[in-house]
Amino acid sequence: MAEINQGVRETVNSQAAQAFYRTLSQAAISALAPIAAVLVALAFGALLLWLNGFNGSDVVTVMVFGSFQDMRSVGEILLKATPLILIGAGLCVAFRCSIWNIGAEGQLYVGAIAATLVGTSIDGLSVWVHAPLVMLAGALAGAAWAGIAGYLKVRFQASEIVTTIMLNYIALILTSYLVTGPMRDASAAYPQSARLVREAWTPRLVSDLRLHIGILVAVVLAVALYIFLRRSSRGFALRVVGLNPHAARYAGMNVARNVMIAMCISGAMAGLAGAFEVAGVTRRLYQNISPGYGFEGIAVALLAGNNPLAAILSGGLFATLRSGSEVLQITSQVPQVLVLVIQGIVILSVVAFAKLRDILRTVA
Amino acid sequence: MSVKPFLRIDNIRKRFGPIVASDGVSLEIEEGEIHSLLGENGAGKSVLMSMICGMVRPDEGDIVYKGQSVRFASPRDAIRQRIGMVHQHFMLVPNLTVAENYILGQGSALSVISDMTSVHRKIRALSERYALDVRPDAIVEDLSVGEQQRVEILKVLFHGIDLLILDEPTAVLTPQETDRLLSLMGDLVKDGKTVVFISHKLDEVMRVSNRISVMRDGRVVNTVRVGETNARELARMMVGRDVRMELPRSPKPPGRIVLSVENLTCRAETGLPAVRGVSLDVRAGEIVGIAGVSGNGQTELSLALSGLLPVDAGRVILNGNDITGLDPAEINARRFSHIPEDRHKHGIVLPLSLSENTILQRYDRKPFATGGMLNRRVIGEHTRDLIKRFRVKSRDENQPIAALSGGNQQKLVVARELARDPDFILVNQLARGIDIGAMEFVMEEMLRQRDSGRAILLISTELEELFAICDRILVMFHGEILGELPPDRTRLDELGLLMAGNKDEPALAG
């Protein structure tokens, strides 16, 4: 017995094992903080509902689990998770580089416009060519739109927070103009574009669900961005620029180039999300194709601690809450405003717990 | 002498964490005098005066002002007692007018500003009386640095003062503006005010003061009347300390010229001239020191050499190639290493690991990266090797560098820069903020580098550091190289004179 104890102690004492336990505890702290944030927020939400005369715990239960009824509803959650994961993972890259891209919504719209143009103007291509082409068009357009703000930042030191927000308005109004004007389907009563040709549609994952392969693309890209940030030399440079631009310059890194790259990656992800909304869900461009995915994506990245891998989970969570709130609207009297308030509390407590996590990390 | 002093500071102590800023300071200021505080950077001049004007609270000791013991909780209390201070960094709101700046914080938040015309009138009257040339309706950010300083001085006069404290006021001024300021100080004294003048420039201090107190290491070393001293004696008091460090040095003739700077001129980020025509050579196997009180262009010189600040005129030649105006990446690649002055700003990225910090310049090159991906095993091995060779105290190479002590952080920076196998090493403040053990270690390492034939330029405000390892010492003052000295301890006062800007010291000796 004593010998075994001795052996265990030796193992624990060995440096590799210590490093392993440290990594484990760090990871636990990293993972627990956002989970705790969500739980606290939901508890606050329940309290708020109770104060408004509802059965708080029941409503919150519906919000979280109500949408897991059958395959179809799970498919709907994943459908909503697709743009949130794409945008959230992309924004993780920008935020890691200290680029505050608030313009994912606009980049999504511009991606949707480009996807619609490519999806309606070309005919006769194979689905193997046309569908990817539509995605590529969306990503490039989103990257270019974000690139405008990036250029203004590196060339004129214009705050990207301001320029990306303004570019949001331009993209939204441009979309309105296009679907009521040049791109309008004349035969339709409602302002909308012509329908994309069938080969341009994003292939469905399961034939009788709306869910398309976009969710797989989103997960694969989130993993790829995680590896990019952690393991590639470019990702390293982006992180150094984000943490200490002075040291980056001293080390000979091109700060402007890295800022542009981070901006364009996040823009491309949002543009791709826009392409999937058109080619995978609506098949046509509408004025309000996004219910604010671009803004919710910021919260997704925040909850994920700017880790693209974690953005898969946090994107899933926000999609679940969104679906849950739709169920609530149908089945109960809870006003949608209260649901929005609960989402707001989630974001606030994420910020609070992020601070706590940093403190715990330095202690561990 | 035995009259009751106007202001008496009695055995004041102040610590900031482990740093002792005031180590039992005692000082007496007489009414109606210009009293200069002379000392190197970090001698504790500014902190002492900040305590008198209520910005900082002393840990121990007494301040007796006009016969009463005072304890100010804020600058407001000090202003009420008619004590005003003009800080090195101006305390003005740039987008407001002069008059608006003056009434800021006056009265309660709810009171309505009723009578700007009388404020304007008062400003104009004061401006005329002291020939300050301040217009009450000028927007502060449109004014030059010299004008802003006059605005600051007038602000203090506007609030009404008996004691005026000027913290390094001439550091940002042209010679003409300096003359004007010095004569203003005379005018103020004629009007019955008392002036405390903080400076490290000997000639200015000798010109205007009645008495001079020299500070060193948080203490007042001596107080002398201006007629009873000379520049040489003051210089010795200012820098005269024990230079303890003795490091064995092999006499060795230096080799070929590695770095040659010709007439280099550049401006600081503020746009003011900082380096004015500096020329120097550094040879293989030689350590050249640049001494000087900080703020005399050393920071800009090192930034310009390493490509971080644009060069206005002149050339930098490294190994026979012109590297003027190249970007840092290109300069880094030409066997140029740089141990920067501000470790936390330039030298390291605090949240990143030791490993990540060791590859800062070479993150995208073999063997640290292949095919665009970091080679974590190679990076880890390389870092472990550096940790071992340079005895960096750390848990492992994956620890964030922020967790290390300053000395160990600096060791890792030194290790990284030497591992790049440089021909030339630019060092700005080798041993700032690190403990004695680490200091000795990095100095010995520098000597080893010298002996192996590398060219080293060491910029430092620490004379100890310079005397310990340099082969020759240049003195920088006001953006120029004023002279060159051997590291000979018997000529310390000469060095002090040069550092204080006196090129022709015999003229001032009397």
Per-residue pLDDT of B403-436, as tens digits, reads 888 888 999 999 999 999 999 999 998 877 676 6
Lowest mean pLDDT among A28-37, B64-73, B240-249: B240-249
Q: What is the mean pLDDT of residues A163-171?
A: 97
Chain A CB contacts of B356 below 8 Å:
236, 240
A231:B373 CB<8 A: yes
B451 and B486 in a single domain? The answer is: yes
Q: Are B5 and B63 in contact (CB under 8 A)?
A: no
B181 and B43 in a single domain? The answer is: yes
DSSP letter assigned to residue B455:
E
Residue B25 lies in a domain: yes
In tens, the pLDDT along A291-304 reads 999 999 998 998 88
B56 and B168 in a single domain? The answer is: yes
Q: What is the mean pLDDT of residues B95-118?
A: 76
Lowest mean pLDDT among A225-239, B207-221, B307-321, B366-380: B207-221
Residue B235 lies in a domain: no
- Read off the CATH number of the domain in which B316 is found: 3.40.50.300
Q: How confident is the model at residue B506 (pLDDT cuts 50, 70, 90)?
A: very low
B97 and B213 in a single domain? The answer is: yes
* Residue-range definition of the domain harbouring residue B302: 256-335+422-510
Lowest mean pLDDT among B92-106, B305-319, B322-336: B92-106
Nearest by CB to B360, which of A19, A234, A251? A251
What is the reported pLDDT for A189?
84
Closest Cα in chain A, distance from residue B378 (Å): 13
Nearest by CB to B360, which of A15, A19, A240? A240
Q: How confident is the model at residue B279 (pLDDT cuts 50, 70, 90)?
A: very high
What is the reported pLDDT for A121?
93
Chain B CB contacts of A250 below 8 Å:
306, 308, 328, 338, 340, 346-347, 360
Q: How confident is the model at residue A179 (pLDDT cuts 50, 70, 90)?
A: very high
B374:A247 CB<8 A: no
Closest Cα in chain A, distance from residue B329 (Å): 4
Q: Which amino acid does the sequence have at B222?
A: N
What is the reported pLDDT for A196?
93
Strands B373-374, B369-370: pairing is: antiparallel
Residue B14 lies in a domain: yes
Closest Cα in chain B, distance from residue A364 (Å): 11
B125 and B180 in a single domain? The answer is: yes
Q: What is the mean pLDDT of residues B194-214?
A: 89
Look at residue B241 and tell me whether its pLDDT is greater than 70. Answer: no
Residue B299 lies in a domain: yes
B359 and B467 in a single domain? The answer is: no
What is the reported pLDDT for A6?
54
B417 and B441 in a single domain? The answer is: no
Minimum CA–CA partner of B397 in chain A = A19
B413 and B429 in a single domain? The answer is: no
Segment of A157-171, B139-153, B495-509 carrying the highest mean pLDDT: A157-171
CA distance B320 to B81: 63
B501 token code pair = 């800007």
Nearest by CB to B348, which of A15, A234, A247? A247
Look at residue A131 and tell me whether its pLDDT is greater than 70. Answer: yes
What is the reported pLDDT for B360?
95
A237:B364 CB<8 A: yes
Q: What is the mean pLDDT of residues B6-16?
A: 88
Strands B480-485, B472-477: pairing is: antiparallel
Segment of A45-54, A140-149, A315-324, B161-170 carrying the highest mean pLDDT: A140-149
Overall domain count for chain B: 3
Nearest to B424 by CA among B276, B349, B343, B320: B320
CA distance B497 to B510: 14
Tell me which of B124 and B110 has the higher pLDDT: B124
- Asked which of B395, B421, B447 is the last residue of a domain, the reply is B421
Residue B2 lies in a domain: no
Q: How confident is the model at residue A20 (pLDDT cuts 50, 70, 90)?
A: confident
Minimum CA–CA partner of B339 in chain A = A250
Q: Residue A203 to residues A58, A134, A211, B176: CA-CA distances in angstroms?
A: 38, 12, 9, 78
Task: Write b or e for each residue in A67-89: b if 16 or more Cβ atoms lie within 10 A of its Cβ, otherwise e.
Answer: beeeeeebbbbbbbbbbbbbbbb
Residue B247 lies in a domain: no
Q: With DSSP H G I counted as helix, E B as strand and the rest as coil, what are the percentages for chain A, rounded to 5? A: 80, 0, 20
What is the reported pLDDT for B507?
39
Residue B236 lies in a domain: no
Tell me which of B296 and B232 has the higher pLDDT: B296
Q: Which amino acid does the sequence have at A290?
A: S
Q: How confident is the model at residue A344 (pLDDT cuts 50, 70, 90)?
A: confident
Residue B1 lies in a domain: no
Look at residue B497 and tell me whether its pLDDT is greater than 90. Answer: no
- Asked which of B367, B396, B421 is the last residue of a domain, the reply is B421
Average pLDDT, chain B: 87
| Region(s) of chain A under CATH 1.10.3470 | 71-332
Look at residue B172 and tell me whether its pLDDT is greater than 80. Answer: no
B26 and B145 in a single domain? The answer is: yes
A237:B363 CB<8 A: yes
B202 and B314 in a single domain? The answer is: no
Chain A CB contacts of B332 below 8 Å:
251-252
In tens, the pLDDT along B462-487 reads 777 888 899 999 999 989 999 998 88
Which class is A71-332 in CATH?
mainly alpha
Closest Cα in chain B, distance from residue A233 (Å): 5
B102 and B161 in a single domain? The answer is: yes
Mutation for A interface: B336, B342, B350, B352, most A CBs within 10 A:
B352
Average pLDDT, chain A: 88
A252:B332 CB<8 A: yes
Residue A246, chain B, CB below 8 Å: the answer is yes
Q: Give residue B478's Cα distance to chain centre.
A: 12
Look at residue A150 and tell me whether its pLDDT is greater than 90. Answer: yes
State the count of interchain CB pairs (< 8 A) between A and B.
72
Residue B317, chain A, CB below 8 Å: the answer is no
Q: Residue B94 to residues A166, B90, B137: CA-CA distances in angstroms?
A: 28, 10, 13
Closest Cα in chain B, distance from residue A240 (Å): 7
B264 and B275 in a single domain? The answer is: yes
Residue B116, chain A, CB below 8 Å: the answer is no
